[in-house]
Chain A
Amino acid sequence: MAARRNIPVGLLFILCSLTFLIATNTHETTSTSEHPDKAVNLPEKSTETGGQTTEQPAVEERQWEPTEFQEETVNDAAAEKQDATPPETTTTSAGAHPKDDFQEELVIRPLQSGDVYASFQFRTLWETDFMKGNKVSHYRLFPKSLGQVISKFSVRELHISFTQGYWRTMQWGQPFMPSPPGAELWVWFQDSVTDVDGTWKELTNVLSGIFCASLNFIDSTNTVQPSASFKPLGIGNVTDHRFLRYATLPREIVCTENLTPWKKLLPCGSKAGLAVLMKSEKLFHSSFHSQAVHIRPVCQDSECTTTSWELRQTLNVVFDLHTSGQGKREWSLFKMFSRTLTEACPLASSSKIYIDITDNPQGEQFELTPATHLLSQAVVLGDRRTFSVYDLTEANTFGSMRSLNLLIRWKSSEGDMLRPLLHAERYVAGYGLQTGEIHTLMYNYHPFRSFPILLLDSVPWYLRLYIHTLTVTSKGKDNKPSYIHYQPSKDRVRPHLLEMLVQLPPNSVTEVTVQFERALLKWTEYTPDPNHGFYVGSSVISALVPSMVAMDTNNTKERPLFSSFFPCKEESSYFVRIYTEPLLVNLPTPDFSMPYNVICLTCTVVAVGYGSLYNLLTRSFQIEEPNPRLAKRIANVIRRLRGVPPLA
């Protein structure tokens, strides 16, 4: 596995140095330039952004000096100082210079199953322009490694997620940020890009280094260009899907090595603010873990006069009642993360914790300590939810202990299963290694509304789909999709792409089936563990689900981060994307354990058996005349010379 991780050292250094820079912008550093090569990696400062804040010159001066090994001590110092002087600096700087803004928030939703769902969101907004050859070289909150990626590869939107485990919709409801198991990457390029495939290839390799993931395994055989499913989420009206690339790696395993670079993209790193909770030994001791990075251009105001770049880093985790909670319905920050909170990130303009108490208006379900009077309502996923809010930028949130350890204690252990309006599952039917059938089931649990969904299936070429066997049925009747986009696969070049727009009738199950044949691969194409099976990525279902309450269509209004990711176009419905489980399919596999025996046996059989049998069957045998005696031969020679017919 180690060989799969492609880590460009230089990029990591940029990251580390950047984190360091931001964290230390109010502090003196003593420089010992033991690693001059790192300093070379640091950005050249251009003068145009020089006058942004009064602190900038200081930052610039120190830019050249920082070194790796000082990071720890300096950051500790930073934390201490921040403790002493609560975050006036940041609020003033954010207020005075709205061009650069950082927000963090954590939503905790106690689930009916007894599990608890924690969702972190960090948003960096930056009013700048990476496009049109604009050389951006001064970075403050926005991570430089990503900024460089955006400008170098002319990226308009970038969405990347790493997920371990599978989101259990039937037990947990809808997540705030959906993601498929494994790694997912989708990118919209600027329309100025000419060689999209080449740029995509380079981009995946660079991202692979940034996130320490095997994204370099993305190639043409698992990349598709969805025509309808993945629309840009930011501003911009280019919807020509030639500039879109989508790929998933269902096999990708997510672990701490992916979390560390992700944390380093945060302005405060994991040193202050909500990110101190992210201890990998707890985060990965959970039943679901998903981390993502979303970059897109957004409007600053409702008229959209100015645009800015938004970087959203999200981390979703579900802690299990039985394995993490020892079966007790009692959760606290300390129990979940083995940390408590002591401060907000000093660079953050807003730092809040939301606890979903919709099901608990009178405190009859669970008890929340310390109590807060701050309540907030937000419309999220088509439902109006009530949240208790803890503002970390206020000192009294932390109480006299100067640390915040939220505690949720259930009073009853009863809980109904959630029943989300849209749910999907997928499996492979049939047995044997020749053919099979992929079944995708989509449940619409809405009692009286039907709604359309877009189904996207990307199937590797080695499952040869028989597209003529495609059937879509709901309630026992044929359900004709109103739109089908199918791109057949090419062996070893590109996968199948199937997109369909299907109307789901109310309270029904819609089943999509398609048969396939399993291809016999060339013997070098098998993975090192061929008997494990081959993965087929999740189907993506994008839907506009009827909403219970009116959705807010003003996308620029100040709202909690978790409710503002997917732009909302109409009031009556909201956008949901769900992913089915990936499939593990066995292909016909030769017995690799005895190739030598097989080769020897085959060669012997062919050479000896077949050869001589063929001889026997095709040759005609004749008794040879015995050789004439010597005397007779001599006589015949003489007779020939004389012109007399020879003796018989």
Chain B
Amino acid sequence: MGLLSDPNRRRALINLLTRLNAPICAVCYIAGVAWFMGLAFEPFTLRTYMSENAMGSTMVEERFPAGERALATGREFAAHKKRAGGMPVDWLVKTMQSRGLEVFTQKFSRTLPFPDENKERYMVKGTNVYGILRAPRAPRTEALVLTAPCSPGDDNNQAVGLLLGLAQYFRNQIYWAKDIIFLVNEHDLIGMQAWLEGYHHTNTTGIDWSPLQGRGGSIQAALSLELSSDIITSLDLVLEGLNGQLPNLDLANLFYAFCQKIGVTCTIQGKLQRNDWDSVSGYSHAVQTMMLMVMKQASGRPWGDHGLFLRYHIEAATIKGINSFRQYKTDVTTVGRLLEGMYRKLNNLLERLHQSYFFYLMPSLSHFVSIGYYMPAFGLLAVILLLRALDLWVQLATPPVRTEDGIADLEQVTHSPPTIKLIPKETIPEVLSVLTPLVISHLTGAALYFFPIQFQATAVEHFPVSESEAVVLTAIAIYTAGLALPHNTHRYILTPDWRVLKLIAVLYMAVLLGCTALINFSLGFILALTLVPMAAFITPHRPKVLSAFIMVILSPACTLLFLVFFFQDLQEIPVSFEDGWMLFLSVISQGILDHSLYGSLVYPLIALMVYPCWLLFWNILFWK
């Protein structure tokens, strides 16, 4: 800072930064990407370790014996489910009661803003059934939750069976210090949302639910169980929750520790851990695992029933049983023992999980990258925007002078201390004139946010499409219509200097991406990856057609399209272009649904902030 208070040195520094601006930006970008790719390289990452002492040293013994009986219960549940054509509420209530739980039900209903074609639902009505195992030693102050969704078809019957089996086994133990709530939720996330809102007596999404009759105090941790076969080959851990929130890393550590102890194959993102980090394929495997996590987190949607717990500061994860063609098989008793061990350790907790990291990425289940390591990657990208802003600021501050009059120019700079005074008087209305494109692009963003759902009825009337398609196509239409904006706005701008607009746009983008990355690193980083180079180098003097093409390619919607393909590719289910396009459409509709059903913030963020910001740059490109 002493450097800056010396005018000569400051001038030198600024000269350096402005002269070498483009190369520095390029270097920063490359360094940022390289840093990010380096995160998956095992020597650069930390091994996971249990931070919570209450769960670390005390070993527990797992004795759950009744896997076969749990499967039988699961089959019985399946039969009753088929007979009832949905949730077998009465049977569940009776079964839970006979296992000595206090049983309660909750009814809920929700009308979706438009029909969900993936899950084929529009007006949703359902019932959650939950039983509370009262801890003998605690006065209903703390609770743990185990949930299994009641899915349509033949899915998840084993999970419900195991849940009931565990309930029966847990009920006969004396050591519980926290109430345990066994919840079977209908309509997966919608039921879960209703139950959580009922439990905490809030209403953030306008769902109708009947009040809960029984509670167990503040919930400390939750696990959601998905199990669809009698025998599994591996267990998969799902961590990504609503808005990219993650549970405390200790929950993942706990799962990993017990998988190791009991000898169950465990995966994250469906990827096994590999030990050959020094080979190219081993490294690329780690990169793929991490990229999957980044993309799932960036999507901001709950990737399992656990995802909604995180809003309430309840550490939660989903455990999925996978049955593939691997050799090594695990039976349900073993899964039950694993869950028993995890619950006993969670029961030992004195405080809620808080010792370990809340912000991390996992290139494998045994390694993690903490926020301190991944933030520099984003920082290197974000600094490009600041450098460009500085460059523009200096350009604006220096009135265009003849090159031979360099000395006079310098004197003028040095004599007038606060640089703001150097802006000529007439730029003040110019700054105001920048408001026009700002306001117009934000109005377009607002239209993109509000119109698709508002005008779905009109769209369905006039075009031969379903409601869901209508919403998505309206959104795409508005998005594309926004590209015509420059032809409408340029005439209102009085004394155009594109650099003022660009300066504001660049700073706006820096703030926007910075805030996003703090909340959801993955989303911020992916947006920065595509938007920053575009923002850095767009000027009205570039070749119009080529630049326009590049800009469209780098726009948020196209980024999303690429990510859909990339995601499918990483999951080893490559799709053709048509399928990918359909997937892209459904991802958009899911994003809108996630927003209105669970309060995911990605869609409003893109529509109301990122897209208008991108439009500003589009404006600059077509400046006249």
Contacts and interface: CB of A to CB of B under 8 A. Distances in A.
B441 to A, nearest CB: 32
B58 interface: no
A586 B352 contact: yes
B350 interface: yes
Contact of A429 (B137, B138, B200, B415): B200
Interface string B406-449: 00000000110100000000000000000000000000000000
A170 B350 CA distance: 28
A581 B140 contact: yes
Nearest to B143: A584
Given A427-B201, A529-B351, A616-B1, A322 B172 contact: yes
Interface stretch (A60-68, A161-169, A225-233, A629-637): A161-169
B280 interface: no
Nearest to A285: B174
A320 interface: yes
Residue among B100, B140, B171, B417 with max Cβ neighbours from chain A (10 Å): B140
B7 A623 contact: yes
Contact of B141 (A163, A433, A584): A584
Interface residues of A, number: 56
B57 interface: no
Interface string B312-323: 110000000000
B206 interface: no
A269 interface: no
A532 B348 CA distance: 12
B134 A323 contact: no
A357 B70 CA distance: 38
A45 to B, nearest CB: 45
Residue among A165, A250, A609 with max Cβ neighbours from chain B (10 Å): A165
A609 B2 CA distance: 11
B576 interface: no
B51 to A, nearest CB: 9
Contacts of B217: 427, 581, 583-584
A165 B172 contact: no
Contacts of B140: 166, 581
Interface string A610-635: 01110110011111000000000000
Nearest to B312: A431
Contacts of A612: 1-2, 4-5
Interface in B100-155: 100, 102, 134, 136-142
B523 to A, nearest CB: 22
Contacts of A432: 313
Interface residues of B, number: 36
Contacts of B202: 429-431
A326 B100 CA distance: 12
A310 to B, nearest CB: 29
Contact of A287 (B134, B201, B311): B134
A531 B354 contact: yes
Interface in B211-234: 215, 217-218
Contact of A532 (B2, B352, B355): B352
A326 B173 CA distance: 10
Contact of B139 (A165, A286, A532, A593): A165
B5 A615 contact: yes
B4 A616 contact: yes
Contact of A431 (B7, B142, B311, B352): B311
Interface in A534-566: 535
B518 to A, nearest CB: 16
Contacts of A429: 200-202
A21 B518 CA distance: 72
Residue among A165, A250, A437, A584 with max Cβ neighbours from chain B (10 Å): A584
A425 interface: yes
A397 B170 CA distance: 40
Given A165-B136, A532-B351, A583-B217, A323 B201 contact: no
Contacts of A529: 350-351
Contacts of A593: 355
A78 interface: no
B360 to A, nearest CB: 16
B1 A320 contact: no
A618 B2 CA distance: 14
Given A427-B215, A431-B311, A584-B218, A164 B141 contact: no
A428 B173 CA distance: 28
Contacts of B171: 322-323
A608 interface: yes
B282 to A, nearest CB: 34
Interface in A295-318: none
B471 to A, nearest CB: 30
A164 B134 CA distance: 13
A619 to B, nearest CB: 7
Nearest to A613: B1
Nearest to A326: B172
Contacts of A508: none
Contacts of B218: 428, 533, 584-586
A615 B200 contact: no
Contacts of B201: 427, 429-430, 437, 439
A582 interface: yes
10 shortest interchain CB distances as A-B pairs? A612-B1, A181-B139, A429-B201, A531-B351, A166-B139, A584-B141, A287-B136, A581-B140, A532-B351, A323-B174
